[in-house]
Chain A
Amino acid sequence: MAALPQPMSVEQFRQLPKGEFEYELHFGEVVAMTRPKPRHWLLRDRLADLLKARLSAYGHVGVEIPFRLLPEFDLRAADVAVISHARMEAMDLDDDLRGAPELVIEVKSPSNTDQQLRQRAIFCLSRGAMEFWIVDTGRKSVTVFHPDGVPAVFSTGDSLSLAAFGGTELAVDEIFA
């Protein structure tokens, strides 16, 4: 028979000593995250810069943005996130964002499985995200999930619409240039 769960609260998680790894709290479980390689964080930072140039009127664009997917037992970070100014103004700056950012972007790493990313997309789209992007450096593609669950794949020559965030568009080729 399965062991009983012992979910950890966000407060307990915050009091853990710093370790060798980055950690996230997923449904009450502490999960060690590998530190990103340069290919990963260079792309992440580039994407953030591209979005900052296009979406500053809409909201804040940042990297490694922590957010509380659930009110309790969960604290994770988006590789790149866009949070509207309205939500930023309502946010307790001594806490983390409640719910998911409006746009959550994950740069796919070797440790990510498709199932993990799909689940993360669902959680985010159910808790405030309007879009969830998965950036695949190997395929040079971006998969966009909307709240209807239908993924759209964009690759070289395509452009991603930023209309949901008050912007225009972003060419895939610019991301992987």
Chain B
Amino acid sequence: MASFSRLITVEQFWELPDDNFPEAFLHELQHGEIVALPRPKHGLYEVQFGLFRLLDARLRSFGMVGFEMAYRPLPEFELRAADVAFVSQARWDGVNPDDVLHGSPDLLVEVMSPSSTEKGLREVVCYGLATDAKEVWIVDGGQKSVTAFRGDGVPAVFTSGDALSLAAFGGGELAVDEIFS
């Protein structure tokens, strides 16, 4: 029977040479293990980048809107990237320049891809809401819908004709049709 291998810490992950990270993949540290994630294809990238621009236009005066924003949902052994994220200015100003955001972004957006699993999405939602995220959005390009999870975990589904409130992040709203236009 194999013995347990060591868990990789965030510091160790950062110190690994570049040849551990083939450019065809994005890499995260999940549960102390390096996980390679396929880079998004064009359609997903368009949705992801479009959402970043829409949110940036609405929320930049309240904080930082990021694309592939790194964060540490747990203090150790986890280093993930949000497809799109918003962090309040106060939290952003407190991030150590030699580290990344601790906890989850205030708004954590995950764009579903063919490699997404229900278990993985549930983990993102539960980690997020338990570690500083006010909302977690799951964007489904196929269904042209956005499912928003708030503190109680109850999902609210927004589709064509609906608008997502941005009140928790400063104000305004975002029409679902704009995301998928």
Q: Which residues of A approach B to under 8 Å, CB–CB?
A: 1-9, 27-29, 70-74, 114, 117-119, 121-123, 125-127, 134, 136, 138-139, 143, 145, 147-151, 153
Q: Which chain B residues lie closer than 8 Å to A2 at the CB level?
A: 112, 116-118, 120-121
From B7, B112, B126, A122 is in contact (CB under 8 Å) with B7
CB contact between A27 and one of B6, B7, B122 (< 8 Å): that residue: B122
Interface size, chain B (Cβ < 8 Å) = 43
Residue of A nearest to B33 (CB): A118
Are A8 and B153 in contact, with the CB atoms below 8 A?
yes
Q: Is the CB of A29 within 8 A of B122?
A: yes
Chain B residues with CB under 8 Å of chain A are 1-9, 31-33, 74-78, 112, 114, 116-123, 125-127, 129-131, 138, 140, 142-143, 147, 149, 151-153, 155
Tell me the dominant secondary structure on chain B's binding face: loop
Q: List 5 A-B contacts (CB under 8 A).
A: A4-B147, A118-B5, A122-B77, A145-B4, A151-B4
Q: Which 4 A-B pairs have the closest CB atoms?
A: A149-B7, A5-B122, A70-B130, A126-B74
Q: Is the CB of B126 within 8 A of A147?
A: no
Interface contact A123-B74, CB-CB below 8 Å: yes
Chain B residues whose C-beta falls within 8 Å of the C-beta of A122 in the assembled complex:
7, 31-32, 74, 76-78
A interface majority secondary structure? loop
CA distance A79 to B129 in the complex (A): 27
A149 close to B126 (CB less than 8 A):
no
CB within 8 Å for A118 and B126 given contacts A123-B74, A139-B1 = no
Cβ–Cβ contact B31 & A7, under 8 A? no
Whether A9 contacts B152 in the complex (CB less than 8 A), given A29-B122, A72-B130, comes out as yes
